[in-house]
Amino acid sequence: MKTIIANWKMNVGVRESVALARGTLLALRGRRILPEVVICPPFIALSEVHKVVARSVVFLGAQNLFWEDHGAYTGEISGRMLTELGVSHVIVGHSERREYLGETDEMIRNKVTQALANQLNVIMCVGETASERKSGEQRERVRTQLVHVFAGVRLKSHERLMIAYEPVWAIGTGEIPEVAEVLAMNEYIRSILTDVLPEMDANKIRVLYGGSVEGNNAYSFLREQKIDGLLVGGASVKLNQLKEIIDATSEVLDAQKSL
């Protein structure tokens, strides 16, 4: 199985989100093997988009959540509220929130705990900056993020965990790492999680790639069996680009089934 997560960020309003959701459903029609697709519109569009994707094969995700179920937290949204809106997945730890809003590993850990308490599938982002990459500290940075967030976390047998490796320097820049680099980091992430979450079934840990993913480079990552999918940002709000990525995913799944 391959997973495609479309993070629409703050790029679209309610009407555009509904149109994109409908376009996504059309792009999935007629395919023999379907990828797992999660669309993550802005909070204001979740309710209307849910009406479009309810009873479909597309999952509804949120771009963030708060670490408490209720309280005097102006402007925040809780896991309980998200589940009431039909949300099944949530992104935590995105580098943009770390950079612009000062989110720390401790905050992200609390969000992960809250998401799991509300039966939400966690999509956690990790990745290094350009300076960390240049100095050879990318593995240490990713290890620190994973250990700080998941140390002491207990996952239930039915719960899944998605880790999106998104090098900060690749997000929205058009620059991407070599596939071999992503595969090496993928393997490293799995080894860290095996140590931190020894009780978790390794088959329920999915490691995705994200960062300047577009229709013309998606296949090079998707064809690798050890890359479980993609977290797509800017390209996911362009329906033609999203369709190309879905096309590439279906091609890979068809080929893998025939082996």
For the chain, the farthest-separated pair of C-alpha atoms sits apart, in whole angstroms, at 55
- Looking up tokens 């997945």 gives 89
In the predicted structure, residue 234 carries a pLDDT above the cut 80: yes
Q: Which of 145, 164, 16 minimizes the C-alpha distance to 91? A: 164
Token digits for 80? Answer: 């309980």
Q: How confident is the model at residue 5 (pLDDT cuts 50, 70, 90)?
A: very high
Q: Catalytic: 50? A: no
In the predicted structure, residue 178 carries a pLDDT above the cut 80: yes
Q: How confident is the model at residue 202 (pLDDT cuts 50, 70, 90)?
A: confident
Q: Catalytic: 148? A: no
Domain boundaries 3-258, corresponding CATH code: 3.20.20.70
Q: Angle formed by the axes of helices 46-53 and 14-28, to 10°?
A: 20
Token digits for 201? Answer: 């079934």
Highest mean pLDDT of the ranges 28-32, 38-42, 195-199 = 38-42
pLDDT at 1: 87
> b or e along 38-55 (b: 16 or more beta carbons within 10 Å of the residue's beta carbon)?
bbbbbbebbeebeebbee
**CA-to-CA distance for 14 and 42, rounded, in angstroms?**
8
**CA-to-CA distance for 201 and 155, rounded, in angstroms?**
10
Tens-place pLDDT, residues 92-107: 999 999 999 999 999 9
Tens-place pLDDT, residues 153-176: 887 767 789 999 999 999 888 889
pTM here is: 0.95
pLDDT at 144: 97
pLDDT at 106: 96
CA dist list (Å): 251 to 27, 29, 255: 14, 14, 6
Q: Which residues contact 185 (CB under 8 A, 6 or more apart)?
A: 138, 139, 142, 165
pLDDT at 152: 79
pLDDT at 173: 85
Q: Which residues contact 179 (CB under 8 A, 6 or more apart)?
A: 220, 221, 224
Q: Which residues contact 86 (CB under 8 A, 6 or more apart)?
A: 46, 50, 54, 60
Catalytic residue selected from 94, 96, 128, 132: 94
Instruction: Name the average pLDDT for the chain.
Output: 94
Catalytic residue selected from 36, 103, 132, 166: 166
